[in-house]
Chains A and B, each alone.
Chain A
């Protein structure tokens, strides 16, 4: 029974999400098969500012289709202009991550979607019940919930499932590099081609920014300490970590992840293992030209800065990943790698979503022209 259901799930999902040949399907929870109705509802909820406590912040605020589904800021800015501690990751291709957040504390997109809703510096709701209440009070959603889930009942699981379903379709595969891989040899410049060779060789990138036909997303889904923001006194940080209130591991982890200073402990916050101190998840390189500034704290503004950081061997600290070492790349080689990274920028939404439409929706909801996405 289980096997049949999974097969059905993946067949349905395949109809909604189209992947280039040889690319493995993302892992979709059995309870949330991908359907067009869920994607539609999810898109509406994605732009819905009334999900936040004061009606000013939606998912699209920090994960803006106009800004590569990020926000152009070093760290997220939530309700009442409060800043968080971490850079907003892009939603592009996020459906292919094994876990979500820089420290991997959410195992699925569904779980991730629930956290900003109740984060005091993000959407600031006192509880998930408040979110459910807010959505239930909007009559426009009744039909959408019915179409997506079979009944108009609103609960936090359904909200998260719809948003996650929408996010899973944000996977374009329309970059010049994708065309190059498909056989169009002049899709990228010679410099970019050299950059790709360096990426796999001398620059030692591919071992963490995993890339192959089956998994073309430039991340190994693992956590590495490359030394960004490793300037704290960790004994002190650990003591602070214990004083953060919160019931249950999830809330506490989220709170720690947003406490400036403490958040630098990274993956350690989730696993409590010493080898994870200061380690953060390898992000994708796709659309990296759209998602500046870089690193988990947005501390590096340009790709040149990023390349120089790696070229010098990261930032020394007691827990620096042993794979990080000075690269001795020449200025030209760095230029080639950056040229190649530029070729990873998607041009349209491709077969899976309408990027122009989403940019329009973002513009309109920000300008207040519309309250919610149709």
Chain B
């Protein structure tokens, strides 16, 4: 247990003042906001007997962020990996749970991003079930493709159901780009692999014979042309399944032509990449680009043995007894400055927030990381 440093009385007074602050703002809150904000308040009442260090009862209401007001918020649901094994299957239930949680937000987000890997094995039945669940979202949906959706039929069904995987759009002054960043070199034609063999090979994360994800020359050309029309001052948000940087090659937490893509984004003042595939809270910053990973609804990946970006505060290992632990959904708030605050709505845990203010402070020292980390401990601990 970490020692708390404030004298007991001072901590107690601070706690009471801030707790009153919480209660005063309660009537203005929606249910979900209420849960989110209460997360920042650890009860100092438990300090006395549990010895948990008191965090101040701070209400970091996203709507009142200090440094720059928000422009809008969008939510995300990602990596559902749906299997066609009965509607009671935990992956299907988890996807539905995320949709219910997003639908309960008040106010509603401007739109919902689906981050890819809707299906587990790319089958039409899986994609159809997934589409059916996402259709019940109240807010409009923007789709992004993942390798599990693509490699059974090389995107044929996906295009039919959701349109072209690469596109861009503008929303409230921000330019959004959606990429298919799971292009890999053809290794299936020569050995005459069947579609399902190819899909299973792509589905295995630790496939020792896997090839790295790329955006590819064709899409980079498209991106160059698309960005040519955009002012350098316009905030850019890129949606990509693979991270668009290099984290861990053996698990394809990797984009092989990341540098080339980053270079196309280099001239812009504010760029954020929202990526999926990694199923874990992940934060990185390379020059002018901030990278945020999103959660999966289906299962969490462990953190890779090497290559973890220093900015990332890891979530505690998930408990396999709990089918939703380490999973969830989330949201991104675009600020006036064009940067973003990232919110991880972890199930069965307190939510995690990675604000741009925090990102711009740089990687924390070990002690600080540990302290921040403790506030997000889930039960049970091992």
The answer to whether any beta carbons of A and B sit under 8 Å apart in the complex is yes
Q: What residues of chain A have their CB less than 8 Å away from a CB belonging to chain B?
A: 99, 107-108, 204, 207, 220, 222-223, 234-235, 238-239, 241-242, 249-250, 253, 268, 270-275, 277, 318-319, 321-323, 325-326
Report 12 cross-chain contacts, Cβ distance below 8 Å, ordered by A residue.
Answer: A99-B49, A204-B321, A223-B379, A234-B34, A249-B45, A250-B45, A270-B45, A274-B351, A318-B100, A322-B322, A322-B347, A323-B323
Binds A, one of B36-44, B192-200, B332-340: B36-44
A273 touches B26 (CB 8 A): no
In the A-B complex, the 4 residue pairs with the smallest Cβ-Cβ separation, listed nearest first, are A107-B49, A322-B324, A322-B322, A274-B35
CB distance from A326 to the nearest CB of B (A): 7
Taking CB atoms, residues of chain A closer than 8 Å to B325 are: 322
Q: Give complex CA distance A253, B159 in Å.
A: 55
Question: Which of B23, B30, B323, B380 makes the CB contact (< 8 A) with A222?
Answer: B380
State how many angstroms separate the Cβ of B33 from the closest Cβ of chain A. Answer: 9
Instruction: Report the bound CA distance from A273 to B23 in whole Å.
Output: 14
Least CB distance, A244 to chain B, in whole angstroms: 10
- What residues on A are CB-neighbors of B50 within 8 Å? 107
Chain A residues, Cβ within 8 Å of B104: 318
Residues of chain B with a CB closer than 8 A to A235's CB: 29-31, 34
Q: Is the CB of A274 within 8 A of B100?
A: no
Give chain B residues whose Cβ lies under 8 Å from the Cβ of A272: 19, 22, 38, 41-43
19 new A-B pairs (CB below 8 Å) besides A271-B42, A322-B348, A326-B88?
Answer: A107-B48, A107-B50, A207-B321, A220-B380, A223-B379, A234-B31, A242-B26, A250-B45, A272-B19, A272-B42, A273-B38, A274-B39, A274-B350, A318-B100, A318-B104, A321-B322, A322-B325, A323-B319, A325-B90
Contacts A318-B101, A323-B321, A323-B322; A271 near B90 (Cβ below 8 A): no
**A222:B379 contact, CB within 8 angstroms:** yes
Q: How large is the interface on B (under 10, 10 to 19, 20 to 34, 35 or more residues)?
A: 35 or more
Of the listed residues A99, A234, A249, A250, the one surrounded by the most CB atoms of chain B closer than 10 A to its CB is A249
Tell me how far the C-beta of A55 lies from the nearest C-beta in chain B, rounded to whole angstroms.
Answer: 32
A319–B32 Cα distance when bound, in Å, is 11
Closest to B52 in A: A271
Q: Could you tell me which residues of chain B, from 1 to 40, have a CB within 8 Å of some CB in chain A?
A: 16, 19, 22-24, 26-27, 29-31, 34-36, 38-39
Is B349 part of the contact surface with A, judged by Cβ < 8 Å?
Answer: yes
Q: Does B46 contact A (CB under 8 A)?
A: yes
Are B323's CB and A325's CB within 8 A? yes
Residue numbers in B under 8 Å from A271 (CB-CB) = 42-43, 46
Assess A273 versus B42: contact at CB under 8 Å? Given A234-B34, A238-B26, A242-B23. Answer: yes
Given A220-B380, A323-B322, the answer on whether A270 and B34 have CB atoms closer than 8 Å is no
- Complex: chain B residue closest to A274, CB-CB: B35
**A226 CA to B124 CA, complexed, in Å:** 35
The distance in angstroms between the C-alpha atoms of A107 and B43, with both chains bound, is 14
Residues of A within 8 A of B379 (CB): 222-223
Residues of A within 8 A of B30 (CB): 235
Residues of A within 8 A of B29 (CB): 235, 238
Q: Contacts A238-B26, A249-B45 known; A275 to B31 CB distance under 8 Å? A: no
Q: In the complex, which residue of chain A has the Cβ closest to the Cβ of B347?
A: A322
Whether A274 contacts B31 in the complex (CB less than 8 A), given A318-B101, A326-B88, comes out as no
**Cβ of A270 and Cβ of B43 under 8 Å apart?**
yes
State the CA gap A52–B315 with chains docked (Å): 49
**How many angstroms between the C-alpha atoms of A275 and B346 in the bound complex?**
9
Q: Which residue of A lies closest to B44 (CB)?
A: A249
The distance from the CB of A110 to the nearest CB of chain B, in whole angstroms, is: 11
Kindly supply a per-residue 1/0 record for chain B positions 35-69, scoring 1 wherever the CB is within 8 Å of any chain A CB and 0 otherwise.
Answer: 11011011101101110000000000000000000
Given contacts A275-B349, A326-B88, contact A270 B46 (CB under 8 A): yes
- Residues of chain A lying within 8 A (CB to CB) of residue B46: 270-271
